[in-house]
Homo-oligomer: A and B are copies of this chain.
Amino acid sequence: MLFSPGAEEMYPPDFDTAVVVQKQLTQTLCGASRPGHFEGVATVVAKLFNLVRPQRAFFGQKDYQQFLVVKRLAADLNTGCEIVMLPTVREADGLAKSSRNAYLTPEERASAPAVYQALKLAEGMLQVGERNPKEVIEAVRKRLRAEPKMEVEYIATKHAGTLEDLNILAGTVLVAVAVKLGATRLIDNVLVDVSTGS
């Protein structure tokens, strides 16, 4: 970032305003286990947009729910800022890049690529016609279970625009995973367009 105000400047003692993106977008997936997280994200992004007044802001696909929340508030508050999603950047073995990867032990690091492998498995199933979310989720779960140290927080298939659950997978489908490897929480996802498939 080109400027760096201190925390006491961004959040003075009488600070008392929150930007809240409601319902569906923030109460599912990572919002379910991290209450208040997306409120903090939305509030600080609204502040930064007022300070910087960007024409475009770029967010990575790895934090897809965050991208949707920011896109929602940017439109709803008439910020005039276009929110652009960029593809997830990955290590050679597929692990999504994240500052948290540094906390993984060598053993955990060896196990971590299973997340993306499981997501690619789901993508493959969707591409060859699978439309039952339970089958996709079960296949992802089975792949992740092969990693003894990996604890699954969620495996979900969602409508990519609204994050609603789907009984039959259709349109652009988000397949998202959150796991814990020891003390480190990892998330990743793939977007699969199945609108023309089956």
Contact = CB atoms under 8 A, between A and B. Distances in A.
Interface of A: 14-25, 42-43, 46-48, 50-51, 72-73, 76-80
Nearest to A76: B17
Nearest to A20: B18
A9 B24 CA distance: 21
B17 A50 contact: no
For the complex of A and B, 5 pairs with smallest distance between CB atoms: A17-B76, A50-B78, A18-B20, A47-B78, A17-B73
A11 to B, nearest CB: 8
Contacts of A77: 17, 19, 43, 46-47, 50
Stoichiometry, copies per complex: 2
Contacts of A14: 72
Contacts of A21: 16-17
Nearest to A161: B14
Contacts of A42: 17
A48 B14 CA distance: 23
Nearest to A79: B50
A16 B48 CA distance: 20
Contacts of A20: 17-20
Contacts of A43: 77
Contacts of A23: 16
Contacts of A50: 50, 77-80
Given A18-B19, A19-B20, 9 more contacts: A14-B72, A16-B23, A16-B25, A16-B72, A16-B76, A17-B21, A17-B76, A18-B20, A47-B78
